[in-house]
């Protein structure tokens, strides 16, 4: 295909060519490629631009740690995903990828001028300038900075794809399916424990997939991996999850996994299941998360073509791609030698192997000598050149005295570097386990765990193959045993050509204190050694401050490749050790996780449960407009053709006042309070005196919190000596029951009372209006509805249309009214029967809006509208309801607090505008005099405001400071268009004597 692809080898399927495009150019790759490997195979090294200086960037790594090669992958308009790492994007046929953060093109990016001007933009420069003139920051500078910042572009349309969520339990969760993780899984699985093994890559095996020389149990390592994977998959107690990232370690051994299901597929349909969140509760967790190679820090270490040695090996051995033909290898660790050897064997020329140390390990040295690698020790890199891809490297030598001398300039087309490996301790640290410093290897490794956590293999510094397998097996057995499953620890015979992976974080030696070119520590965020030095110079000592000031470690790789080098540079600068400088906190997620995975199924109707009443479908069929009240959908009004809300509500109100209205009150909370101590319980809880409530009667009840403020209200009926039927507000049902249970269980456990929510058991059909009795009489049996037998606030059992009926003579409208409580399953049928029976009397279904108007005409409050959590019963004119003789009830003591008795509390009043056609804005404020200047002296606010059909004018309720003493006064409502004069009245506008109610 081309010269960069090897003739054979790798784990790609050369029989399956895939076509893809990058920035509009068409390329071909193979099944098994990543976007990165396929581009490299096509000789493309330039993939992106850096965040700040817009420097050309290539591919640094081969895995999830990649900071540079970020692309946008576009399936369609609404399925475009920014900031994906090309090293993780699996190639599929037809893949479309774009580079980001460049204009007009990736090769020629005008913003690259930032690189030239970079002396003006050191770390934190924006704190020092853009302050003049004062308003210019937001008006001028910030928009330009914002436009220049950011990487990819947000998706444009609503995401059509779906996301799933699953809870799982297991005995042992193993994170990472490399050598150690697989060994741990085999050991744990053999013990019979329920095992989940996950790995972020599509294929299990970790680094073994790029180790052609490694052999386990006599077979090539990759074959062994495949065999063990099959064996594990065949076990019923094992769940294997590939393409699954363990992103978060939460308290009590809950691990969050994100599984990617379709992003690798060529043509998943829009709406397919894209990703799944697993919330795994594991008895024991084994972290076999491996290690990440560190870049070396030298001037020009960011050019396309400069990459990690492990990446060079991985592209060669796993994907069959030579990353260069003339390669300079820079070794801060023996691991670099393996890359040099493999690439040389694959036909690349190793033009220099610059080892920055004074000596390499014995095995590496011997192998290099045998392969005639051009090794130079005590080397350093002074710079690189090549605009869009590295073309040469200037090497230097560190003399025994510590001076740095330039030695040679070497032409090349790739640089492989290794600073050693950093154990991946993110999850361990997230779990709040303490890290300990391994001075021999210059790494932090897991120390004391905080949860039931075990670490195995390279993530705790054990990376030789045989040792990692043995460690994994041992840890797997220990974890299974800790979960209660004993088994033997398997042993694996293994061999590999391996060198050490230890190195020293920090920057390479340079001739002067300030290198002439930028040596990058954090690639994506363009943080250089100079920036770190500047932060130190400016007095930032804490590593957290240095991180925040320079933004090192804050890019989308979250410091995976930069963190330890930054620590090394800072520690050198402060002449302190790395553990003295300390680490910044590891936070979830390990790698970025799609919002949709967290949101899962929750969208539209699944965002919150939808509660509907038994008549919901009927109401919908009759054109109801619904409103959300708590989780409920309530019919707000029933517009007829051509009616707006105002007209519909006026018609509905008139119907109730003159004929008969039908209203679904099923959403009201209902609680049965039952038991020999029920009346005692109610007396202690509600403000009212329930001892005087006769069986068969009901009463308006008020519930306070113990701080004295109104919490809820509702009609309470006494169905028997020991049985109360308590109704609550629609939104308050659950919290009132919770409060009742709280007092009953924890304060008065001696009371013999049982509480049952019956909200969903009853459909409640309110029939209201002067003709209500006529309408329901023919349908009701076993109850005498006559005013004498069934006066206002009485309750009785009977039947309606053959269904059991709990009938309340009660009114929230001020008219003669009944509330028919029937078992919910009968609700629709009874509703329709009443509706049919009422047709001849023009029965009118009405919604919550008319209900609000009708009750406001009567001055009945709505808890949550007239009250707001700061109102006492007296404030809203309900002192009459308080059982004065009771020694105590919840909230009583608080009503004696100074603030509750202070003058000037807001009190419920009515308001009538001077102009009867003006309907006040709910929430509008009240002032004493017209044309007030700000700050005004606001003395009250409008709580409810409607056009009243019955009164032929607007009405309003308000909470007004000292309101009851102000009745008759004229006040003003300041509005943007001018003041509105209002007259303060009593809060009852209609039938204040209650004649109609008792009709």
Least CB distance to another protein at residue 832 (A): 28
Our CB check for another protein shows the closer of 114 and 392 to be 114
Which string of x and - marks every residue 33-52 that binds another protein (by CB under 8 A)? ------------------x-
Q: How many residues bind another protein (CB under 8 A)?
A: 131
Comparing CB distances to another protein, the nearer of 462 and 703 is 703
Give the x-and-dash track for 728-747 against another protein (CB under 8 A): ----------x--xx--xxx
Is the separation of the CB atoms in 123 and 100 below 8 Å? no
Burial class of residue 241 in the structure, from the number of CB atoms within 10 Å of its CB (0-12 exposed, 13-18 middle, 19+ buried): buried
- What is the rounded distance in angstroms from the CA atom of residue 26 to the CA atom of residue 21? 4
Q: Which of 250, 437, 700, 754 binds another protein (CB under 8 A)?
A: 250
Among 217, 643, 672, 707, binds another protein (CB under 8 A): 707
Q: Is 373 helix (H, G, I), strand (E, B) or coil?
A: coil
Cα–Cα separations (whole angstroms), residue 544 to 327, 489, 533, 554: 37, 42, 15, 11
Residue 894 burial class via C-beta count within 10 angstroms: exposed 0-12, middle 13-18, buried 19 and up: middle
The least CB distance from residue 629 to another protein, in Å, is 7
Among 622, 646, 841, 892, binds another protein (CB under 8 A): 892
> Judged by CB, which is closer to another protein: 144, or 387?
144
Which residues 312-341 are close enough to bind another protein by CB under 8 A?
A: none
- 670: which residues sit within 8 A by CB, 6+ positions away? 725, 726, 727, 728, 733, 757, 758, 759, 761, 762, 764
Restricted to residues 933-962, the positions that interact with another protein (CB under 8 A) are 934-936, 938, 941, 943
Report the site for another protein in 474-533 (rule: CB under 8 A).
Answer: 514, 530
Q: How large is the C-alpha radius of gyration of the chain?
A: 38
Residues 822-881 that bind another protein (CB under 8 A): 864-865, 868-870
List the one residue from 257, 356, 583, 593 that touches another protein (CB under 8 A).
593
Residue span 432-471 as binding mask against another protein, x where in contact by CB under 8 A, dash where not: x-----------------x---------------------
What angle in degrees, to the nearest 10, is found between the helix axes of 543-550 and 529-537? 120
Among 370, 575, 605, 993, the residue binding another protein under the rule CB under 8 A is 605
| Residue 48 vs 659, nearer CB to another protein | 48
**Does the footprint of another protein cover residue 556 (CB under 8 A)?**
yes
53-61, 460-468, 538-546, 982-990 -> range binding another protein (CB under 8 A): 538-546
Stretch that binds another protein, among 175-183, 234-242, 627-635, 800-808 (CB under 8 A): 627-635
**Rounded (10°) CA dihedral 360, 439, 211, 85:** -110
E strands, 752-884, are 754-757, 762-768, 780-781, 795-800, 803-809, 817-823, 844-845
Residue placing its CB nearer to another protein in the complex, 333 or 424: 424
Residues 279-298, interacting with another protein (CB under 8 A): 279, 281
Write out the binding residues for another protein, residues 254-273 only, by CB under 8 A: 254, 256
95 binds another protein (CB under 8 A): no
Instruction: Name residues contacting another protein, limited to 958-987 (CB under 8 A).
Output: 974, 976
Q: Does 749 bind another protein (CB under 8 A)?
A: yes
Q: Give the nearest distance from C-beta 383 to another protein in angstroms.
A: 17
CB pairs under 8 A, 24+ apart, for 258-266?
258/589, 258/593, 258/594, 258/597, 259/198, 262/161, 263/89, 263/90, 264/90, 264/92, 264/202, 265/92, 266/92, 266/93, 266/94, 266/95
Q: Rounded to whole angstroms, how far apart are CA atoms 881 and 872?
A: 12
Q: Fill in the DSSP letter of residue 878.
A: -
Q: Which two tokens stand for residue 372?
A: 């005639």
Helix (H, G, I), strand (E, B) or coil at 897: coil
Q: Which of 452, 548, 953, 983 binds another protein (CB under 8 A)?
A: 548
Beta bridge partners of residue 635, listed in sequence order: 626
Candidate ranges 482-490, 563-571, 704-712, 795-803; the one touching another protein (CB under 8 A): 704-712
Q: Please tell me the distance from the alpha carbon of residue 745 to that of residue 653, in angstroms, as a whole number.
A: 44
252 binds another protein (CB under 8 A): yes
Q: What is the largest CA-CA distance in the chain?
A: 114
709, 762, 846, 990: residue in contact with another protein (rule CB under 8 A): 709
Q: How far apart are the first and last CA of the chain?
A: 95
- For the chain, the residue count is 999
Nearer to another protein, 20 or 163 (CB): 163
Q: Are strands 625-629 and 632-637 parallel, antiparallel or unpaired?
A: antiparallel
If one asks whether residue 706 binds another protein (CB under 8 A), the answer comes out as yes
Question: Could you say which residues in the range 149-208 bind another protein, by CB under 8 A?
Answer: 149-159, 161, 163
């Amino acid at each position: 295909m081309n010269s960069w692809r090897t003739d054979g080898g790798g784990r790609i399927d050369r029989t399956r060519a895939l076509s893809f495009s990058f920035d509009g150019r068409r390329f071909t790759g193979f099944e098994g490629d990543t976007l990165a490997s396929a581009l490299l195979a096509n000789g493309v090294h330039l993939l992106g631009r850096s965040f700040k200086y817009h420097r050309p960037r290539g591919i640094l790594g081969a895995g999830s740690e990649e900071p540079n090669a970020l692309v946008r992958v576009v399936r369609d308009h609404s399925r475009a995903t920014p900031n994906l790492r090309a090293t993780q994007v699996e190639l599929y046929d037809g893949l479309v990828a774009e580079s980001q953060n460049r204009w007009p093109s990736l090769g020629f990016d005008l913003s690259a001028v930032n690189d030239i001007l970079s002396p003006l933009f050191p770390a934190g420069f924006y704190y020092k300038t853009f302050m003049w003139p004062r308003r210019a920051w937001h008006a001028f500078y910030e928009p330009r900075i914002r436009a220049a910042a950011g990487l990819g572009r947000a998706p444009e349309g609503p995401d059509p794809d779906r996301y799933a969520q699953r809870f799982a339990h297991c005995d042992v969760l193993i994170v990472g399916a490399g050598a150690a993780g697989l060994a741990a899984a085999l050991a744990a699985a053999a013990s019979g424990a329920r095992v989940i093994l996950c790995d972020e890559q599509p294929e299990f095996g970790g680094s073994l997939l790029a180790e052609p020389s490694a052999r386990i149990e006599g077979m090539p390592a990759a074959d062994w991996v495949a065999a063990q994977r099959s064996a594990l998959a065949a076990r019923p107690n094992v769940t294997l999850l590939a393409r699954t990232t363990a992103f978060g370690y939460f308290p009590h051994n809950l691990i969050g996994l994100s599984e990617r299901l379709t992003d690798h597929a060529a043509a998943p349909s829009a709406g397919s299941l894209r990703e799944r969140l697993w919330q795994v509760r594991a008895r024991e967790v084994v972290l076999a998360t491996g290690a990440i190679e560190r870049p070396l820090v030298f001037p020009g270490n960011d050019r396309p073509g400069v990459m990690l040695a492990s990446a060079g090996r991985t592209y060669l051995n796993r994907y069959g791609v030579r990353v260069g033909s003339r390669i300079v290898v820079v070794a801060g660790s023996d691991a670099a030698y393996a890359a040099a050897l493999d690439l040389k064997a694959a036909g690349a020329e190793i033009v220099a192997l610059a080892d920055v140390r004074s000596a390499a390990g014995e095995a590496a040295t011997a192998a290099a000598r045998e392969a005639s690698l051009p090794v130079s020790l005590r080397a350093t890199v002074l710079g690189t050149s090549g605009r869009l891809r590295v073309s040469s490297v200037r090497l230097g030598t560190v003399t025994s005295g510590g001076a740095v001398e330039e030695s040679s300039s070497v032409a090349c087309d790739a640089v492989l570097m290794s600073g050693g490996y950093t154990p991946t301790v993110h999850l361990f640290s997230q779990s709040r386990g303490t890290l300990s410093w391994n001075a021999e290897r210059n790494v932090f490794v897991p120390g004391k765990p905080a949860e039931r956590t075990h670490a195995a293999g390279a993530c705790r510094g054990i990376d030789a193959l045989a040792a990692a397998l043995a460690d994994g097996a041992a840890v797997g057995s220990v974890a299974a045993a800790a979960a209660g499953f004993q088994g033997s620890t398997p042993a694996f015979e293994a061999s590999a050509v391996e060198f050490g992976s230890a190195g020293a974080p920090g920057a390479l030696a340079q001739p002067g204190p300030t290198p002439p070119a930028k040596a990058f520590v954090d690639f994506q965020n363009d943080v250089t050694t100079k920036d770190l030095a500047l932060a130190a110079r400016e007095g930032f000592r804490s590593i957290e401050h240095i991180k925040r000031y320079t933004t090192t470690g804050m890019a989308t790789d979250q410091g995976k490749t930069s963190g330890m080098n930054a620590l090394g540079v800072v520690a050198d600068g402060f002449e302190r050790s790395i553990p003295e400088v300390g680490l910044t906190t590891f936070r979830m997620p390990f790698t970025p996780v799609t919002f949709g995975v967290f949101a899962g199924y929750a969208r539209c109707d699944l965002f919150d449960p939808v509660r509907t009443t038994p008549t919901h479908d009927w109401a919908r069929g009759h054109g109801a407009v619904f409103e959300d009240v708590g989780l409920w959908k309530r019919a707000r009004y029933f517009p007829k053709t051509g009616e707006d809300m105002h007209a519909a509500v006026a018609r509905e109100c008139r119907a109730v006042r003159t004929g008969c209205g039908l209203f679904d009150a099923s959403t009201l909370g209902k609680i049965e309070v039952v038991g020999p101590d029920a009346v005692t319980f109610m007396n202690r809880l509600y403000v009212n005196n329930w001892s005087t409530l006769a069986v068969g009667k009901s009463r308006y009840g008020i519930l306070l919190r113990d701080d004295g403020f109104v919490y809820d209200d509702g009609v309470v009926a006494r169905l028997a000596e020991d049985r109360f039927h308590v109704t609550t507000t629609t939104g308050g049902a659950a919290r009132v029951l919770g409060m009742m249970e709280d007092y009953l269980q924890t304060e008065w456990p001696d009371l013999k009372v049982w509480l049952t929510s019956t909200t969903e058991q009853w459909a409640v059909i309110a029939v209201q209006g002067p003709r209500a009795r006529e309408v329901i009489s023919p349908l009701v049996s076993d109850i005498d509805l006559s005013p004498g037998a069934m006066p206002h606030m009485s309750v009785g059992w009977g039947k309606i249309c053959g269904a059991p009926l709990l009938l309340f003579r009660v009114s929230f409208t001020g008219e003669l009214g009944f509330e028919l409580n029937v078992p919910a399953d009968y609700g629709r049928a009874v509703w329709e029967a009443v509706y049919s029976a009422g047709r001849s009397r023009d029965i009118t279904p009405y919604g919550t809006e008319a209900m609000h108007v009708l009750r406001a005409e009567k001055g009945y409050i709505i808890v949550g509208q007239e009250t707001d959590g700061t109102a006492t019963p007296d404030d809203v004119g309900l002192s009459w309801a308080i059982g004065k003789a009771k020694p105590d009830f919840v909230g009583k003591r608080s009503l004696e607090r100074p603030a509750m008795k202070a003058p000037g509390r807001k009190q419920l009043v009515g308001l009538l505008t001077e102009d009867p056609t003006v309907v006040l804005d709910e929430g509008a404020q009240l002032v004493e005099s017209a044309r007030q200047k700000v700050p005004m002296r606001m003395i009250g606010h409008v709580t409810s405001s409607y056009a009243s059909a019955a009164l032929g004018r607007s009405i309003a309720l308000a909470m007004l400071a000292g309101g009851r003493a102000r009745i008759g006064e004229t006040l003003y409502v300041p509005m943007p268009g001018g003041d509105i004069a209002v007259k303060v009245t009593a809060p009852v506008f209609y039938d204040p004597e209650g004649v109609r109610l008792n009709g």
